[in-house]
A and B are shown apart, each in its own frame.
Chain A
């Protein structure tokens, strides 16, 4: 219970001001496409230069926590996920907003983010030593199977037909192969200099989600089909809290899956959200309503991506191995302050580390309060006329894309992909499998090639990929996921017939 002793350090006027400011700014930044949690934390690190280590970390931690939740706001209100972690939230969240329940959706999102987030921090407080050892067991082959597990669910997510889902997923996987070859550094499919650094995941995300939305809004505007949302939901806070806590199954699936994925080096929220969404769908009694505005879907996805935050710090703090892309940037933030992660970090810098962890709990509470407060004002966004909305999204998309790598080529890629996606969506294709293909394709290829090199050096690559407890468990999960997918689509066909 050592962590209880350091709350005093958090409750100073300066630190509370940092927490409130960091959380508020984090929610807003998170909602802007392009300013993903990784990007926001990276941009903030230089500002912590002149602060004391614990103050700097408190600010960075609040930013990490809040941006992950903030990305859901734009996912729900305008169908543009603020970061890859919020893709699953957009599926049902935006449907709820369209049916006039934006406020309800935001309530569910922030409450479940809070529950998942606090769960994750407690995992960090109580289970760090055993989980750090576990996280070291996830090597190239294990990560390859995690990526394959993600690929098995691509086809069934948000597509009118399995064939279209598979085709879109394949397109995403192909996008992932553009640029530098992961192990021999040769450039592939680089037909123009603009493609030199490949398709960045967040660039793809913005293009595939934001640009079709821009064209759709303009189309509606010129067709005078200006949709007016009369209501943004009538949920009171008490009703929303009751609803979220009544969905205990979705909440616990989200929190547990998020925590597990958090400790896996390099996986992160983007995978946590989508896997939790899929798993909760498989066990839900409201399965048929997923993709049409199901609260359980939002609860599972958002509790997962926030519960990932705490556990992603476990390998970071004790082994100097980041559990998520954002934690990787946070490593730089730690080093800059002369805090060197390692097994002895809790004995060498207890003051700094425990104050940081305690501040994460306070940040979750502030995120809940500020998020719920902002939800009340969601109607202002929903009331913006289509033409203004289109211009607003376009501006944010261009600035957001450019800011990721300060690269004009990224803007061209974003624009081209987005316009293709607009026509694709007319033909019934969804951006979700494409962006998942892009995310998972990069990971699959790299881990496969590395595993293959190491396996061959050990004697047999096949044996290397198929031995070890974690590998066997993951392979079984992949098979189960495919079998279940085929079985459930047959069953639903029969019901329809």
Chain B
């Protein structure tokens, strides 16, 4: 009796699988998100928070798990994602702009904006210009005056080469015309340590991390178009007289490799912004000091193209 039942069930299952077109069932199993940085870092934990609500029936409808593939400043993970990740919508990737675009311009990488398809953006963390709390400089102008008098002596730390902080530095140096020295630390935390300890004169670092450490720092300016809610009293670089836009802002979001079926891309693009905007997720982003900025697929496509054009020009001399 039992065996008959199981056979019937199995036949039924096979029949139903054959009847339905494969795409219509998407997603029928948990979905992975590849993070090109190690567990515990900002990109990793924000990716975990941003995808927290994916299992809800009216959102993606399947839980999301994180797959960390760190190495070579993100290059290892993104190379793998563009060349080897499955193109069936069951492996998404987390992007960091401007990092991956800048790397694809400067280095011989397997990824670029043409073989990746954005889905949606969850966060935007601008770079801020910081100095130690005992620093003699209180404004961008004072810092630049010192740089003018002592060419090359103003050291500015950041999280490494070709990341948001480095882009902010390049823009800052170009727009101000000052002779400044960039110090590429082995990550944002170490770059922040350099400024707190007075090892470097100044630094570009994440707004979120700097705002948390406000007691040990002076935040001189934000490298964005507008002031930020977390730091209403801190001017933008433009207000301070240096023509730097928002090109260094660290955007984080989800993408799939090109070749993923269009209906899967459309499905994800229609659900993902709502997932990022879910109430509990937003609460968690706020309580962890992670600046949220939800953008749709179309907005991200425009942002990627804009960055690609601008960074190609900015980095032309650095190849």
A200 to B70, CA, bound (A): 11
Q: Are A180 and B67 in contact (CB under 8 A)?
A: no
A196 and B155 form a contact (CB under 8 A): no
9-residue interface stretch from B180-188, B239-247, B292-300: B180-188
> Contacting B40 at CB < 8 Å: which of A321, A333, A459?
A333
Asked if residues A45 and B40 are in contact (CB atoms below 8 Å), the reply is yes
Q: A184-B161, A329-B39 are in contact. Are A342 and B45 (CB under 8 A)?
A: no
Q: Is A243 an interface residue (CB 8 A)?
A: no
Q: B residues within 8 A CB of A197?
A: 70-72, 75-76
| A441 → chain B closest CB, angstroms | 14
The B-contacting residues of A in range 154-209, CB under 8 angstroms, are: 179-180, 182-185, 187, 193, 196-198, 200
Shortest Cβ distance from B84 into A: residue: A408
Given contacts A42-B38, A187-B72, A457-B153, contact A342 B197 (CB under 8 A): no
Kindly list chain B residues whose C-beta atoms are within 8 Å of the C-beta of A193.
79
Task: Say if the beta carbon of B160 comes within 8 Å of chain A.
Answer: yes
B224 close to chain A: CB less than 8 A: no
B312 at the interface (CB under 8 A from A): no
Which residue of the partner chain B has the closest CB to A342? B215
B59-89: CB near A (< 8 Å → 1, else 0) gives 0000000111111110110011000000000
Q: State the CA gap A406–B76 with chains docked (Å).
A: 11
Per-position 1/0 for B30-52, Cβ under 8 A of A: 00000000111110110011001
- A454 with B196: CB separation less than 8 A: no
Within the assembled complex, what's the spacing in Å between the Cα atoms of A85 and B46? 30
Select B199's contact among A139, A185, A330, beta carbons within 8 Å: A139
> By the criterion CB–CB under 8 Å, are B213 and A342 in contact?
yes
Q: Is B69 within 8 A of A407, CB to CB?
A: yes
Q: Known: A139-B197, A328-B40. Is A185-B155 also a contact (CB below 8 A)?
A: no
User: How near does chain A come to B98, taking the closest CB pair, in angstroms?
Assistant: 14
- Asked whether A335 and B288 contact (CB < 8 A) given A46-B48, A405-B76, the answer is yes
Residues of B within 8 Å of A198, CB to CB, are 71-72
Asked if A486 is at the interface (CB within 8 A of a chain B CB), the reply is: no
The interface bits of chain A over 314-343 (1 if a CB of B lies within 8 angstroms of the residue's CB, else 0) are: 000001111000001111110111101111
Contact of B79 among A196, A322, A342, A406 (CB under 8 A): A196
**Residues of A contacting B190 in the complex (Cβ-Cβ under 8 angstroms):** 265-266
Decide if B181 touches A457 in the complex (CB within 8 Å).
yes
Minimal Cβ-Cβ distance residue in B for A449: B184
Bits for B1-42, please: 1 = Cβ < 8 Å to A, else 0.
000000000000000000000000000000000000011111
| Chain A neighbourhood of B215, CB < 8 A | 342-344
Does B194 lie at the interface of the complex (its beta carbon under 8 Å from any beta carbon of A)? yes
- Whether A136 pairs with B40 at a CB distance below 8 angstroms is no
Within A430-459, the residues touching B (CB, 8 Å) are: 446, 450, 453-454, 456-459
Of A193, A321, A330, A343, the most chain B CB neighbours within 10 A belong to A321
Contacts of B73 in A (CB 8 A): 180, 185
Q: Give the complex CA separation of A140 and B199 in angstroms.
A: 8
The chain A residue sitting closest to B184, CB to CB, is A183
Indicate if the CB atoms of B72 and A322 lie closer than 8 Å.
Answer: no
Interface residues on A, range: 35 or more
The reply to whether A338 and B288 form a contact with Cβ atoms under 8 Å apart is yes
Task: Flag whether B152 is at the interface (Cβ < 8 A).
Answer: yes
B contact residues around A338 at 8 Å (CB)? 287-289
With a 10 A CB-CB cut-off, give which of A136, A180, A185, A459 has the most chain B CB atoms: A185
Answer yes or no: B193 CB below 8 A from chain A CBs: yes
A377 within 8 A of B: no
Q: Is B175 an interface residue (CB 8 A)?
A: no
- Interface residue B94 (Cβ < 8 Å from any Cβ of A): no
Q: Is A462 an interface residue (CB 8 A)?
A: no
- CB contacts under 8 Å to A, within B193-243, are 193-194, 196-197, 199-200, 209, 212-213, 215-216
In the complex formed, the residue of B with least CB distance to A197 is B71
* Centre residue among B45, B189, B193, B196 by max chain A CB count within 10 A: B193
Q: Which residues of B contact A423 (CB under 8 A)?
A: none
- Nearest-neighbour CB distance to chain B for A361, whole angstroms, equals 24
B130 close to A (CB within 8 Å): no
Structural contact, B213 and A196, CB atoms closer than 8 A: no
Q: How far is B153's CA from A43's CA once the two chains are assembled, in angstroms? A: 42
CA distance A162 to B70 in the complex (A): 37
Evaluate contact between A42 and B39: CB separation under 8 angstroms: yes
In the bound complex, CA of A354 to CA of B154 (Å): 40
8 Å CB contact of B68 from A333, A406, A456: A406
Option from A45, A139, A196, A335 in Cβ contact (under 8 Å) with B72: A196
A320–B193 alpha-carbon span in the complex (Å): 8
How far is B161's CA from A193's CA once the two chains are assembled, in angstroms? 21
Q: Which residues of B contact A196 (CB under 8 A)?
A: 71-72, 75-76, 79
Question: In chain B, what residue has the closest Cβ to A266?
Answer: B190
Q: Give which listed residue, A185, A265, A266, contacts B184 with CB less than 8 A.
A: A185
Complex CA gap A406/B33 in Å reads 13
Asked whether any CB of chain A lies closer than 8 Å to the CB of B162, the reply is yes
**Bound-complex Cα distance A43 to B68 (A):** 10
Task: Say which residue of A320, A337, A405, A457 sits within 8 Å of B192 (CB atoms).
Answer: A320
Chain A residues, CB < 8 A from B181: 453-454, 456-457
Interface hits, A471-496 → B, CB 8 Å? none
Cβ contact within 8 Å between A335 and B45: yes
Could you say which residues of chain B place their CB within 8 Å of the CB of A344? 215
Question: Counting CB contacts under 8 A, is A137 at the interface?
Answer: yes
- On chain B, the residues within 8 Å of A179 by CB distance are 71-72
What separation, in Å, do the CA atoms of A161 and B279 have in the docked complex? 65
| Residues in A neighbouring B196, C-beta threshold 8 A | 136, 319, 321
For residue A333, which residues in chain B have a CB less than 8 angstroms away from its CB?
Answer: 40
Q: Is the CB of A454 within 8 A of B288?
A: no
In the assembled complex, the Cα of A454 lies from the Cα of B199 at a distance in Å of 8
0/1 string, B246-287, CB within 8 A of A gives 1? 000000000000000000000000000000000000000001
**For the complex, what is the distance from the CA of A446 to the CA of B39, rounded to whole Å?**
22
Kindly identify, within residues 336 to 377 of chain A, every residue whose CB is under 8 Å from any CB belonging to chain B.
336-338, 340-344
- Please list 23 pairs of residues, one from A and one from B, whose beta carbons are closer than 8 Å in the complex, sorted by A's number: A41-B40, A42-B38, A45-B39, A46-B39, A49-B52, A179-B71, A179-B72, A185-B160, A185-B161, A196-B75, A196-B76, A200-B71, A328-B189, A331-B189, A335-B212, A335-B288, A337-B288, A338-B288, A343-B216, A405-B70, A406-B69, A407-B71, A457-B153
- Which residues of A are interface residues toward B (Cβ below 8 A)? 41-43, 45-46, 49, 136-137, 139-140, 179-180, 182-185, 187, 193, 196-198, 200, 265-266, 319-322, 328-333, 335-338, 340-344, 405-407, 446, 450, 453-454, 456-459
Beyond contacts A320-B212, A336-B45, A454-B200: 12 other A-B pairs, Cβ-Cβ < 8 A, are A136-B196, A187-B72, A187-B107, A335-B212, A338-B289, A405-B70, A407-B71, A450-B185, A454-B155, A454-B199, A457-B154, A458-B153
Closest 6 CB pairs of A and B: A197-B71, A332-B40, A42-B39, A329-B40, A185-B161, A338-B287
